Amino acid sequence: MVLPVFAEEYYYFEDHKLITPPEFCIIEFTDPQLPGAEDKLYQITKNAIEEWKNKLVRFTGEKQGWDFTYKIISQTQYDDFLSQDVCDVTIYYDREPTTAEEITTAGHTYAMFGFADITIFYLEPVWIFNGKTEPINGEEYEVADLSHFKNSLDPYNDETIKHEIGHALGLDHYPAKISEIIEQNGIYTAPSIMTLSENDFLIDRLDITDYDIRSIVNLYGEDRINEWNVWWLVDYLVIVIIILIIIYFVKRKSRKKEINFVPLTTDEGTKRCIRCSRLISSAGDSDVCNTCLQKNGFGV
């Protein structure tokens, strides 16, 4: 049993929660310019998933509800509609950002409908100081600009992956204050793996903290992710019902079109087309019946 904690403020993505303990799909990639990068990133990613899982299990004492799993699959497997592979969280790797919105980010997460896609930009960035300054807490600090990317792995990829998994689980950025940054033996650490603030330049390392674990437990409950939210269930049922209704009316309309051209001889020997007795009121429908009879050798 987890002891109650003092009221804390938590930061979450709006309307995003996973539905079940996630299966992470790590998408295979190759980088001819950086041999060995694949295996190193796969291992870092597995370690990050295991760390989130183990810390949640230790904190709550519950194993099944936090049963995070992972597998490495090819893009072809992932794209195969008939494949049995189910991915709650999908992790991709790119050498570096390609859009203006991403250019200063080490990764990003897109989450919707209980699923999430993570992209990690794994090359090491090089920052330069061009004399630019910004006021922070009443003092002027130099601001670095991105210069280029080295052909080497970013030494902070482990932090980035843990951070993006936090987003996939539903956590938003934590706006840390300078007073919350902890110094120990000359190392400055942040209060959360989700820390993103104007004081990033002071932080040496990010890691999954007790605060992050409490945030997840507060979001999902002490013992599980695998409890379906009733509103998610209602949403899915509504979508399924709408799809079934559309299929029914499409098939019904198709069947009506076909049935107008089916000949029928009644017990009295009357030769007509099915439904023509109902549709004969209009000239167009009469033509349909006549065409049906002629095509099938009944005459008109």
Tell me if 91 sits within 8 A of 85, measured CB to CB. Answer: no
Mean pLDDT across 162-181? 90
pLDDT at 114 exceeding the cut of 90: no
Mean pLDDT across 70-86? 82
Lowest average pLDDT, out of 10-24, 46-60, 134-148, goes to 134-148
Mean pLDDT across 159-170? 96
pLDDT at 96 exceeding the cut of 90: yes
> Could you please report the per-residue DSSP string of 137-153?
TTEEEEEEEEEEEEEEE
- Residue 291, CB-side half-sphere exposure with 13 Å CA sphere: 10
pLDDT at 18 exceeding the cut of 50: yes
pLDDT at 264 exceeding the cut of 90: no
Lowest average pLDDT, out of 13-22, 113-122, 209-218, 219-228, goes to 219-228
Radius of gyration in angstroms for the set of CA atoms belonging to the chain, rounded to a whole number:
30
Tabulate helix, strand, coil % of the chain (nearest 5). 35, 25, 40
pLDDT at 134 exceeding the cut of 90: no
Residue with tokens 């050798």: 297
Considering the domain 23-227 in this protein, what is its CATH number?
3.40.390.10
More confident residue, 260 or 191: 191
Looking at residue 2, its pLDDT comes to 42
pTM of the model: 0.71
pLDDT at 121 exceeding the cut of 80: yes
pLDDT at 3 exceeding the cut of 50: no
Measuring CA to CA, which residue among 117, 121, 115 is closest to residue 101?
Answer: 121
